[in-house]
Amino acid sequence: MKLTILFGGASFEHEISIVSAITIKEKLAGFDLSFVFCDSDHTFYLIDPSKMKAVTFSKGEHKKMPQLTLTHGAFAQKKGVFGGAVEHNNVVLNLIHGADGEDGTIAALLDFYSIKYIGPRVDACIFSYDKRYTKYLCEAINVKSVRYEVAHKDELGNISISYPLIVKPTRLGSSIGVSIVKDESELDYALDVAFEFDSVVIVEPFLEGVKEYNLAGYFADGAMHYSIVEEPYKEEFLDFEKKYMDFSRSEQVLKADISTELEARLKANFDKVYRGMFEGALIRCDFFVHNDEVMLNEINPIPGSMANYLFEDFEKVIESLSSSLPHAKRPKVSYEYIHSISKAKGK
């Protein structure tokens, strides 16, 4: 099948999106792929598939490739003054991690121009991109999560959570700006680091002895489909460079050794998060299990390289998802009210 991979973006995760796209290219080798790169100045480029290498972008070679603009139903490529436009109207896979891709911007653009896409819709982005809003969602749909406090750059209040604690910028993924704070002496530095990336940070207790499980899934053909459950390799903390490497994962991993009962509970929680909000997207939920309680840690609405390594037949996953995409209904405008008011006024 034909598919356009959209990657890049004006985001701290720009580079890992490139890595993610390169990885996906290998995993979808049976597809007729095209690649649209969103540069950090928001110009779109059509990338020659043979040039899908990290150096193409770091050396700026993409700037010599054809520019694209958004038009109704497609990315359009100008063909000089006298030629018409070439349209690229495949289904798009939104693979822009972080800002632009996960904050609702790209979703809104593609919706506005009626371009079909795999990826989270605008509301789904808002509730997964900002860690505060994920907490709001958990509260509302009755999914447990770690308790938290919010700190603002301008008005630093007291933090009442006891040590060790974890400090995170609210609107960044990929562990950027995240610190574990063992005692008070480390707090100011950790907050400074986080405030480098965001004016709002959230603080959570660092739970000792927590188990971590990742589960991906999507809705297609009338049913939920789940990946295997992975127990991610755990260091105390993944720094950005290690996480970066993590976005290029392509080897299928082993199923976590957990009871059927726990697996069912993870899936039930995933379901509550997904339904009515994430349709059209393949997401990965990262759960904690602590004192036998399942808690949502975070929602990755565009996981690194689409969490391909959690699925047995990744091409089939993308094929079935792309045939089950939601489409926005647009109301017809009849001008009925303007007509009736004009009539009432005798005009």
Chain contacts with a copy of itself (rule: CB under 8 A): 10-12, 14-16, 18-19, 40-42, 54-55, 57-58, 69-70, 72, 81-82, 99-100, 103-105, 107-109, 111-114, 122-123, 126-127, 130, 132-133, 135-137, 139-140, 152, 200, 240-241, 244-245, 276, 330-333, 335-342, 347
Among residues 64 and 332, whose Cβ is nearest to a copy of itself? 332
Terminal Cα-to-Cα distance of the chain (whole angstroms): 55
What's the rounded Cα separation, in Å, for the pair 219 and 130?
23
Six token digits for residue 292: 């036998």
Among residues 123 and 212, whose Cβ is nearest to a copy of itself? 123
What is the closest distance, in whole angstroms, from the C-beta atom of residue 316 to a copy of itself in the complex?
Answer: 27
What is the closest distance, in whole angstroms, from the C-beta atom of residue 14 to a copy of itself in the complex?
Answer: 5
Burial profile 317-346: b = 16 or more Cβ within 10 angstroms, e = fewer = bbbbbbebeeeeeeeeeeeeeeeeeeeeee
Among residues 19 and 289, whose Cβ is nearest to a copy of itself? 19
Among residues 14 and 168, whose Cβ is nearest to a copy of itself? 14
**54 close to 18: Cβ distance less than 8 angstroms:** yes
Give the contacts of 347 (CB within 8 A, at least 6 positions apart). Answer: none
What's the rounded Cα separation, in Å, for the pair 323 and 227?
19
Determine how β-strand 67-71 pairs with β-strand 44-47. antiparallel
What is the closest distance, in whole angstroms, from the C-beta atom of residue 107 to a copy of itself in the complex?
Answer: 8
Instruction: Output the CA torsion 112→113→118→123 (10° steps).
Output: 0
What is the closest distance, in whole angstroms, from the C-beta atom of residue 184 to a copy of itself in the complex?
Answer: 26
Among residues 254 and 337, whose Cβ is nearest to a copy of itself? 337
Residues shown for the chain: 347
Among residues 232 and 276, whose Cβ is nearest to a copy of itself? 276
What is the closest distance, in whole angstroms, from the C-beta atom of residue 290 to a copy of itself in the complex?
Answer: 23
Residue ranges in 142-255 assigned as alpha helix (H): 187-197, 240-246
What is the closest distance, in whole angstroms, from the C-beta atom of residue 148 to a copy of itself in the complex?
Answer: 11
**46 close to 14: Cβ distance less than 8 angstroms:** no
What is the closest distance, in whole angstroms, from the C-beta atom of residue 29 to a copy of itself in the complex?
Answer: 22
Among residues 32 and 196, whose Cβ is nearest to a copy of itself? 196
